[in-house]
Amino acid sequence: MAKQNTGQQLKAPPKIFYGYIVVAAALLIILLAYGARLSFGVFFKPMIAEFHWSRALTSGAMTLAMLIQGVTGIVMGRLNDRFGPRFIMTFCCFFLGLGFILTSQIHSAWQLYLVFGVITGIGMGGVFVALLSTVARWFIKRRGTMTGIVTTGIGLGALVMTPAANWLISVSDWRMSYIIVGGVVLVPGIIAAQLLRRDPARMGLVPYGKNEKEVTESAAAAGGLSFKEAVGTVQFWMIAFSFFCLGYCIFAINVHLVPHITDLGISATTAANIMAATGGLQTIGGIVLGIAADRTGNRQVLIIGLVLITVSMLWLVPFTGPGMFYVFAVIYGVGVGGGGTMEATVIADLFGIKAHGLILGVTSFIFTVGGAVGPLVTGYIFDRQGSYQPAFLVCAAFGITGLILVALTRPVK
């Protein structure tokens, strides 16, 4: 009798499905977290001007933050599978806001590495993994679309917070600007975290589209592989290294695009606007390609994203005018919007949601290793060569490698 009552508690989604509230809260948190993180490129030169550090040394703080984020993401993914995202995101938003506020008080490189590298790295650890894994649990139908909407927060963050940070620096200084950025992440982020729930069953609901006949899933997604089973497949390592390549390209650009543009004599305001434009196009790419993924397949859209990112890396090498950088913003932004959207959904397609948080945590760690290596190597190449052009060619090579790996990946049988 108890089993029957439990079964009766599960009902079809109402007209206002709570999963949409989860998506809205996740979107806001990602916008704030990644917007603050991506504004690091705007703070890059003001910090160098004050402390006279090399670009490789300054980039190293982002490298450390990415590594800490990746390691923490594995733990957060596992905890999200067990306990859900509300506590995790409250913790993460607190650490993020604290880290950015403390960055305003640094006076040496080790302090930058501690507060920006370690503290904000811990804070970022659960953002992508916990939120995207949670959205995957709430939606079967429209999973690609909803994931696309949430990940557009990354682009919206760049669109809003990069020029805002640049303006704040121009009217005050970089230290006060980081205090304001930290407060903007801390308070609204913690409030939004209270709206999150791990999965529909805990609210007496079922995932969106579960009871619809036309919705089907692959064998892997329907049954779900354990983490041990997943890492024993060739597909896991192929897709994981493709994410490494994706992270290398994205974060090399996030840190070094603004310095590259200003090195060419273009104003810091124009450089910030170009960076913001990449965020706006990333938003459009995430939504459009997320919808396309529900029709054509997630892996195909990831391939499209990697093609566009590779083309954009090659585009940066010969061109030096502002107009050409806006063309770059279109190609790169749409590519990142499509490529970044697909990580959680491709993992769900290949390995199911049984251990989705942990599997996504590990692949995201490998993504962040790429994101850690990219800015550091790019800064090192510039310090040795005095130019970013060789570094952008290296980025293109990683883009091609990732593209080939995704194209060769086939679903788990």
Among all chains, which residue has been given the structure tokens 């599960």? 10
Q: What is the pLDDT of residues 341-379, one digit of tens each?
A: 788 788 888 887 777 778 888 888 898 889 888 988 998
pLDDT above 90 (res 402): yes
Superfamily for 15-201+211-408? MFS general substrate transporter like domains (1.20.1250.20)
Read off the pLDDT band of 202 (50, 70, 90): confident
**Per-residue confidence at 212, pLDDT binned at 50, 70, 90?**
low
Sole residue written with tokens 């501690």: 114
Phi-psi region of 370 (alpha: psi -120 to 50; beta: other; left: phi over 0): alpha
pLDDT tens digits, one per residue of 172-188: 889 999 999 999 999 99
For the stretch 107-166, pLDDT in tens is 999 999 999 999 999 999 889 888 988 888 888 788 778 887 888 888 788 788 888 998
Q: What is the mean pLDDT of the chain?
A: 84
Question: Residue 222's pLDDT is what?
Answer: 47
Report how far residue 3's alpha carbon sits from residue 274's, in angstroms, rounded to the nearest whole number.
Answer: 58
CA atoms of 371 and 252, how far apart (whole Å): 7
Q: What is the pLDDT of residues 24-50, one digit of tens each?
A: 999 999 999 999 988 888 898 899 989
Report pTM.
Answer: 0.74
CA dihedral 54, 121, 400, 352 (to 10 degrees): 180
Using only C-alpha atoms, the chain has a radius of gyration, in whole angstroms, of 21
> Which tens digit of pLDDT belongs to each residue from 382-396?
988 888 899 999 999
- The per-residue pLDDT for 26 is 94
Place of tokens 């490998």: 366
pLDDT in tens, 286-309: 788 877 877 877 888 889 999 999
